[in-house]
Amino acid sequence: MTGQLQCKDIPDDVFIGAVRTAPASVALGWRNRWDVHEALEAVMGRDIPYNLLMAKARKLEVKGLLGGCTCGCRGDWHPSDECDDPMYCCPSVGA
């Protein structure tokens, strides 16, 4: 693949799949974003810039597919259907 990787080059289900694959920490099932980053690079077979990772996470949050912190203040993510407590999900940016 040549050129700059963009959000649309990462399918939503591949990203959420990487979130599910990442080891869950503590009882809430949160994934550290760096674990997701690693898992996503493994399935995509190439480097994913950090900016792109965060931009894609925000898009998925706006779509209601991803919960947790997409603003970067904490760094935990979870698939929305595994959400235990929306109180801990950071408010959507621009939703």
Asked whether position 67 contacts Zn ion by CB under 5 A, the answer is: yes
**Does position 65 bind Zn ion by CB under 5 A?**
no
According to CB under 5 A, which one of 1, 26, 73, 95 is a site residue for Zn ion? 73
CB-based contacts of 63-69 (< 8 A; 24+ apart in sequence): 63/12, 65/12, 65/16, 66/15, 66/16, 66/19, 68/30, 68/31, 69/33
Which of 7, 52, 54, 90 is in the footprint of Zn ion by CB under 5 A? 90
Nearer to Zn ion, 44 or 54 (CB): 54
